[in-house]
Every structure is written in structure tokens, then in C-alpha cells.
A and B are shown apart, each in its own frame.
Chain A
């Protein structure tokens, strides 16, 4: 195997920029900004955005396509789009950086966020089991730290610990599954695995390996029954961290697992378009999707905490996204990517609104957003767009995401098979979901503010991030082919 290190370096330019940026942020903080506490925040934010911007530029100009370094990485449209997407979502999350009073070490926070983004971009390109594992772990470890970053708040530490325990366990499953796959096929490379598996057919050991991989996948996507960490983490983690976990991490995770499941394990997919079902990973994913849809939507109904509600909504959306994964083999990853990225935008925005509110008082309960339209029309308007997009109201992007995914699923076999029934279930549950989304909007747009509630001042970076997210949701909803046409 002839290895081309120049091509490898070329393919890893976004990651290199992000890592260097992270180090630069830290170094600048130690040697310069630490002594200027007034500017510390802004410097870290500006350098972080600069690194993300450069990385995004490098990501969209990959300067080559195809497998790199003997198939370790894969540079294709999906890679480019995902890298750009996760970097964009990370930049929006970064703009939500908490105020100096709540965040004593901004540089460390930004640096770790950049490392997490490095993990995401690497996940987008990974095409080999070891790289997949490495990238997932780099991202996960950074996210554990970010989740526990708010040391003034015990819930944050609790969230980090739970996330870590759960993540560690699923990482163990993932590694175990990978080693079984390696043992079965003698290859780490997804292409090699596919060839081997096609030759040898299903075996009980392969099914065990599949099950283990799917557990880790379920964790990363916050799908039932591996979702239990999500409500606690969303509730406790600092807003930018929660936004990152809900958006970029999910997008990167879905892309890396789509790559793993379709090009890598495509021969063991099984059939669920029509009865009878044949065994493979698709029936399991379909089952997980159905469970997530039910648990997420019904669990959200009873929530009085906005963040927990968003967590349950995330679980429900994970179910719909998994349907997109199943459909990706037939129609390509376009619907899945569109759904995941626009869902990410809406979630980052929703957490952004909460993070701005946090600066003025508690932002946990539904009643904490009461009367937002009087306290800040900007926040209330943006929140309306985000929540309506999550609920899937046209012409916002959330509607077309759902539309594209459900249409793709129905093309697999129409309504005649289990996967079609799942699409019907998802559409029916969308109606249920509207109820709890409107609960948020009822508080924000109709209810009166509490007596002591003051007008909210929105910091400039956060206002920009919110406006950009809202504008993108509208624009991508009106012109879905900007993304759908990429693939």
C-alpha cells in the first residue's frame, strides 16, 4: 500500500486549523489575555471564530476527492457538507458563550469546543474503524468536559458525570463491536469489510457485533432505549455545550454511522420494506426509531422544564432521523443531511434563546419564558421560528426536512411494509408534538411576564447567531434545493 502523506495532510487541513486554533486560543490566554480580564472573553471568542472560519474555508475547498491514505479517510460531497455543517453549528454555539460572571475560563472552554469540533469534522471524513473510534472519542471526551464546565452549578457536574458514564459504557460497546468486526473480516477499512462480509454472509458473531455497534449509535443519536442521559445532560450542561451536543454532535454522529452502516455493513441490512422481515441491522434501527418516536413525543408531553422538553423532542427527532438513515441506502444521504442540519440549527437557536435568558434569571421552567414577547421581541420572534421549525410547520426548514425524510422512506416500499407504517407513525406523532411545542410558544408569546421580569438585553454575538439561524431556517425552507441539490 502506497501512502501519500501530502494528500493526508491536505485532507486534514480543517482539523489542523481547528487544533492549531485551539492551541492558539490557550496560548494567547496564558501569555496575553489573562492579564487583561476585560478583554479575555472577546479575545477567546474572536480567535475561536477565526479558527472555525478558516477551518470552514478549508473544509469547503477540499482540493481533491475520493479515498485518502489508503482509505482511512473519505472526501466526498457528504464529507464536505458535514464538515461545513458541524463547523457552522459549532460557530453558532460558540457565539452563545456565557457571560464572564458565569464562565471564569473562557479560553479553555473555547479550546475544548474547538477540539470537539475537530472530532466532529474527523467523524465526517472517517472511513476506517480506528479513525471512526478515535474521532468519536475525541468528540465525546471534549463534550464530557464541556458538559461539566459550569463549576458553579452542581447540575452541570451531575450532567457531565452521567454523560461520561453513559458515554464510556457505549464506547466500550463500540470498541467491542469493532474488534469483533475486525476479527470476522480481518479488515479495518470500511471497503474491505464490505467485500469480506458480502463474501461470507451473516453469522451469529456478526449479529452480536452489529448489536454492539448499534448500542453506541443509539447513544450518540440519543435514541430510545439509550436516551436516558439526554434529559439530565440537556438540563444541566451549560447552554453552548448542550447546543453542541444536540446539534453538531448529532449531525456528525448520524453521518459517521450512515457511512458505517451503508458502505460498510450494507450487505447485512436486512429487509423491512415488505413483510416478511429479514434479519439485519435495518429492522433493529427501525425498532429503535419507533421506540424513540414514541418515548420522545409522549415523554415530552408531561414536561414542565424547557430543557428537558427539548431533550425529549431531540429523542423524538432522533427517531425520525433514524428513518432517514434507513432510507439513505436508496435515495442517498440528502434528506438525512438536510433534516439533521436544519434540526441542528433550530436546536442551537432554541438553546441560544435560553442561554440569553439565563443571564437575567433562571431559564429552566416553561414559565421562565413567560411573556418573552414583552421582555424581548427579538428573542420571542426567533424562538417562534425555532420552535415552529422543530414542530415542522411550513415554510420553515423543519417541515421540508420531515417531508424529504418521510417521502424518502415511503419510496422504499410505500405503505405496504413496516417501514411505511413507521413513517405513518412519525407523521401522526408530529401532530402530538405540535402540542408541546405550542406550549413553549404559548408561554413566550401569549402569557404575561412575571411581575419582577425585566426586559432582556441580548448580547451582540448571541443576537447575530440567533438571527442567522432564524434566517437560515426560513431561507432553507423556501429554497430546500440549496441543500437537497448538493448530493
Chain B
């Protein structure tokens, strides 16, 4: 049984309905809201699996279902749904991870007063995210893109009574909006150029050969049109996926409840930028054939990705908040995905996206489990010794860490990272991104070893950590399932049997190559991981931290560097001093203009309108009503009934009718006689 493409809308529609139920339910309807959300998500997951079966039946095909939304001057604005392996794999992943995180949330948010609202927002997010994935129109994708942004805003600021959460929500919303502006411009340019925003439309979509050929002419600045549009769309991806220079919002977004961080800011929404670039990949690669352009779109993507991967890993080294470490690690891993896209291997990017979704969701949920057990203590310096108290969390977290670090052979993260390194190594333009990625691998191994050692080993360094106890099955069960996935997912795309890659590329037959082809590179990365873990263990594992106030061993050795990294290299301050200042100045200018110039004009018009109204009213009251009043007074004086007073008025009405006719007649006759 498969799901036909015209029924694909059901996948986002189910959580949307659950969101509606959650919105309409009374505040006490906690079970109803959570039940609807989880039930709908389970339904979506089943449908997504059916859709996957449908897509795998013919992986090379892009099945589409398009419909006219409404007609405009230039023709109909059309939307549609698309089913191909990329969509189907994303759908299954989003639905599955969402389902697990929804279940986890029933435990994590149990004490929260706004429990049902939380599930309403989560369902809204899932609906928008699934809608984004199944869209066959850049416009529909953009609509859902903005909706996930909205859901993210609502959920980061879910504890809006905390000023830091409200500020973080605002920061996330505004920062991503900067990227979205570029996306919107690219979208409008594309619509203007192509007349359609459909991806695939039986040869007429903008990702198909005929349309791409129209985009190869050069602009006055030397760029190809497709490069410019591609880079504008990439701006949206930079904002959403937390790439340099718009990465600053993602760590702050950790103010939201931890399930939100796991679902939105690790597994799904932040990966939407990667998905977007993979989706419009034919557009991004359209300029590759041109030799005489200064830069290709993908080159920019690769450098930004590589830089972000290194930057995120560096900053993560000096963070102390368990969620922020994971957040910067997400920034870094998203950089790896962008790097893979940039060096031409979108399949590796999607593979890493899928594996990352599972192990990063696992890590965040594990962190959530720790935070929930340790009474909202998030500082790893104050944790410690949890390996004995929280066995399930510890073991699953360790598995997740090993996947993230890329411990060889067994773990999914190893294979996906390997694919990216391999692709970066083979890139002909430059080797710099490859070196950045390699350095990132060492750092990743290093900061994760530190995270494990400080959180789980040794003895508890605070009251909260000492009283921590393992959480209930609603929270541990998703951890176990995700841990299993983090390990087993490697099986879908082993180098010897790259099933996922073959399906994504639309090949029926899976052609593998021997597992040790490129063994040199693989050996190098194993050595690098070992180096990172070894360094980490030497600094943090051998001599465990004595108490929460003790100095960090790295900070003792290089205080200046660590202080700068702990301060996130000052990006926030830099932006506040430049963009923020500029914005404030512009806002003041706009305020002055608004108040005095436009406001004055509006006041003038309003006064004019008031004056007209006054004149009308005066005429009405004095002349018309006055006349009628006199008439009625006279009639009343004569002892006439009320109805007769109205007859006088009706006379006036009929007279106007006749007068109107005469005027019309004069107009037409005089006009005709001319």
C-alpha cells in the first residue's frame, strides 16, 4: 500500500488538526491536547511511511500534484505537493522524531501550567515542518518556512515570564528574518524571471532543464542570474540553519524547553536550510558549467559551511551550559552539512542531516533528562557523578556522543561524517574547507569528551546533582529508541551498500564499493577522533573537577583564548555595536519621520475628513432634518399620526428619485447631443 501524491497533504494536515484541537481545548484539557498531538503524529508517521514506499517504487520520478491557488493578472498562482525520495525520507524522519519528542514532552512538561498550549504549538510546528517538506512550490515552502519560524518563536518564548526567554525568542525571530528577506527577494526574482515557483511541473517547473537554461545569462556584475538567485535563497538557509554570520540566535534559542531544543533547534527546523538547498540543488548547480563567472553559488556555500563548522566547534569548547554546548555543536554540524552541499555531495549532506537528527535529538533529550532530574541545573561544572544515578540516560547519552564524535564503524555519525570528509577532500576548488573540517573533527571529539566527563563522571558537585534520580519511562523510552536509531541508521548507507544514496539519486540498483576504498582518509579521521578524545580525557577525565568553582584546566593554560571563546568571540557585542546601533539610528529617524512628516500628513487628511464629515452632518442636521423636523412638528401640532410625519419624508425621497432621474437624463442627453 502506498500513499498517492494527491493525498500527501494529509501528512501535515493531521498535526494541523491536532493544533486546532489544542487551541480550542480548555486549559484543563491536558490529556486531550497531548493525546490529539501524539495520535496525529503517529498517523502522520504511518502516512509518511506509506509515502516512502510510494517514492521508493520509482525513486527517479518526481511525482507532483499541482493546483491553482488563485488567479492574478499574470496568470494563476499555483501550489503543489511533491513526492520523491528526498521528501519521503525527510517526512519519515520528521514524523518519527516528532513523535518520540512529543512522548518525551508528556513527561518533561508534566508540571507546566500551560501544558496543553505547549502541545498545540508543537503540533503547529510539526504541521508547518511537514508542509515545508512536501511542498512542490517555493512559495508554499516559504509560507511553511515562515510558519516554522513562528512556531519556533512561540516555543523559544514559551516561558515568556523569563526575560531571557522572551529576548531569545525575539532575537531568533529577527535574526532569521534577515535571512528570510534574502530568501523572499530570491523568490520574487525567480517568479519574475520564470513565471512559476513550482519545482517540478512536467517540464515547466523551475528546477527542470528548460527553465534552468534561461538563468545562465550574466548580470552586469559578472554573476550568472542563477548564482544571484541561488545565493539569495541561501541567505534564508543561512538564517534558518544558524550559519555564520547569522548563527548568533541558535545558542540563545536554548532558553526554550528542552524538547523544543531537541525537535526544532537540533533535529528538524534548523536542518530546513540544508533541505532547502538540497531541494533547489539543480538551481544551485546551474552555474557550474559557466567558466567565466567570478564565483559559483556552491563555492560560497562550501566556505560558509566549513567556517561555521570550525567556528561552532571552537566556541563549544569553552561553554559551560550543557544545552549551549550542544547548541554550538549543532551549529558546527549544520556547517558540515552545508559544506557537503557546497562541495557537490548533497546526498552526503542529507545522510548527515538524517543521522544528526537522530543522535542530536537523543543528546538533547538526554540533556533534558539530566536537567529534569537535576532540578533545572544546566551548568556542567555543577553536575557530575550522574553515571551511577541515571543509568539509562548515561548509556544512551554516551551512545549519542559516540555517534556525534564519529567513533568508527558502529555509529551512524561516523559514516555520514566520513562521507562529508571524503567529498570535501575530492573538491577541486580548494582544500581549505577540508582542513577546517578535519580540525573540527578533533575539536568535536575534544569538547564532547569534556561534556561526558564533567556531567557523568566523578562525584556530584551540587545539591541538585546529588539528588538526581532517573526519570520515568515516558522520558527514557524515547531515549532508548533514539539511541538504537543512532547506531543502526548507519546500516542504510554503508559505503559497501549505499542504499540511501542510490535512492536519493534516483537509482534502482545499489552499487557499492569495497568498504576500505579511501581507507587512508578513514584512517586519518579515526586518528583525529582518537586524538581529540585523548586530549579531552587527559585534561578533564584523568583528574576530575573537585568542585563547581574550580578553574577549568584549559582556562589555566590559555586564559585569553578561552575567555574569548566563552564570550562566543564577541559576535553578539559586534552586532550590537554595528547592526544594532545602525538599526537604532534608523529607527529613530523613522520615528521622527513618522511622527512629524507622515503623521502630519495623516493628521491633515484626518482633519480634512473630519471637516467634511462635520459639513455633511451639519447639512444633514440643519437642512434636511431641520426641514423634516419642522414638517413633523407642524403635522404633530395638527394632531396627525406619526405615520403621516413619515409620509412627508417619503415625499422627499421620491422627489430625490425623480431628481436623480432628471440628472441622469440630462447627462446622457447632453452628452449624446455633443
Contact = CB atoms under 8 A, between A and B. Distances in A.
A279 B613 CA distance: 33
Which applies to chain A's interface (DSSP): helix, strand, loop or mixed?
A: helix
A228 B660 CA distance: 11
Contacts of A162: 646, 649-650, 653
Interface stretch (A20-28, A178-186, A208-216, A438-446): A208-216
Chain A interface extent, by class: 35 or more
A407 B72 CA distance: 9
B73 interface: yes
Contact of B672 (A154, A173, A214, A279): A279
A58 to B, nearest CB: 29
A53 to B, nearest CB: 28
Contact of B70 (A161, A218, A481): A481
Nearest to A159: B646
B616 A298 contact: yes
B518 interface: no
Contacts of B659: 225
Contacts of A204: 669, 672-673
B669 to A, nearest CB: 5
Contacts of B667: 283-284, 287
Contact of B665 (A158, A211, A400): A211
Contacts, number: 102
Contacts of B663: 225
Interface string B54-79: 00000000000000111111001000
Interface in A162-182: 162, 165-166, 169-170, 173
Nearest to B652: A228
Nearest to B69: A481
A432 interface: yes
B612 interface: yes
A484 B665 contact: no
Nearest to B661: A215
A480 interface: yes
Interface in A400-449: 400, 407, 411, 432
A24 to B, nearest CB: 36
B12 to A, nearest CB: 15
A326 to B, nearest CB: 15
Nearest to B73: A407
Interface in B385-427: none
A275 interface: no
Contacts of B673: 204
A284 B667 CA distance: 8
Nearest to B655: A228
A279 B73 CA distance: 29
Contacts of B505: none
B661 A173 contact: yes
Nearest to A410: B73
Contacts of A211: 661, 664-665, 668
Nearest to A207: B668
A302 B616 contact: yes
Nearest to A299: B616
A6 B435 CA distance: 87
A161 B646 contact: yes
A481 B612 contact: no
A214 B663 CA distance: 12
A215 B660 contact: yes
A298 B651 CA distance: 24
A279 B656 CA distance: 24
Contacts of A288: 664
A210 B665 CA distance: 9
A480 B672 contact: no
A277 interface: yes
A208 B612 contact: no
Contacts of B669: 204, 207-208
A277 B670 CA distance: 13
A146 to B, nearest CB: 19
A479 interface: yes
Interface in A378-420: 400, 407, 411
Interface in B609-661: 609, 612-613, 616-617, 620, 642-643, 646, 649-650, 652-654, 656-661
Interface string B577-621: 000000000000000000000000000000001001100110010
Contacts of A301: 609, 613
B665 A154 contact: no
A283 B617 CA distance: 29
Contacts of A212: 661
A407 B649 CA distance: 40
Contacts of B658: 169
A158 B657 CA distance: 18
A63 interface: no
Interface string A201-231: 0101001101110110011000001101100
A173 B654 CA distance: 12
Given A210-B668, A481-B69, A161 B657 contact: no
Contacts of B72: 407
A215 to B, nearest CB: 5
B671 interface: yes
Contact of A226 (B71, B73, B649, B657): B657
A212 B657 CA distance: 11
A302 B70 CA distance: 37
Given A162-B653, A283-B671, A411 B73 contact: yes
Contacts of B643: 154, 157-158, 161
A148 B616 CA distance: 31
Given A299-B616, A407-B73, A485 B68 contact: yes
Nearest to A228: B653
A293 to B, nearest CB: 14
Interface string A296-307: 001101100000
Interface in B345-370: none
Nearest to B613: A301
Contacts of A281: 668
B523 to A, nearest CB: 57
Contacts of A481: 68-71, 76
Contact of A484 (B70, B616, B668, B671): B70
A162 B661 CA distance: 18
B583 to A, nearest CB: 28
The list of the 9 closest CB pairs from A to B, nearest first, reads A279-B671, A225-B660, A207-B668, A211-B665, A480-B70, A228-B653, A279-B672, A211-B664, A215-B661
Given A169-B657, A226-B657, A480-B70, 9 more contacts: A158-B643, A161-B650, A162-B649, A165-B650, A170-B657, A211-B668, A226-B660, A228-B657, A283-B671
Interface of A: 154, 157-158, 161-162, 165-166, 169-170, 173, 202, 204, 207-208, 210-212, 214-215, 218-219, 225-226, 228-229, 277, 279, 281, 283-284, 287-288, 298-299, 301-302, 400, 407, 411, 432, 479-481, 484-485
30 contacts: A154-B642, A161-B643, A161-B650, A162-B650, A169-B654, A169-B658, A204-B669, A204-B673, A207-B672, A210-B668, A211-B664, A211-B668, A215-B657, A215-B660, A225-B656, A225-B659, A225-B663, A277-B671, A279-B672, A283-B667, A287-B664, A298-B613, A298-B616, A299-B616, A301-B613, A407-B73, A432-B609, A481-B68, A481-B70, A485-B68
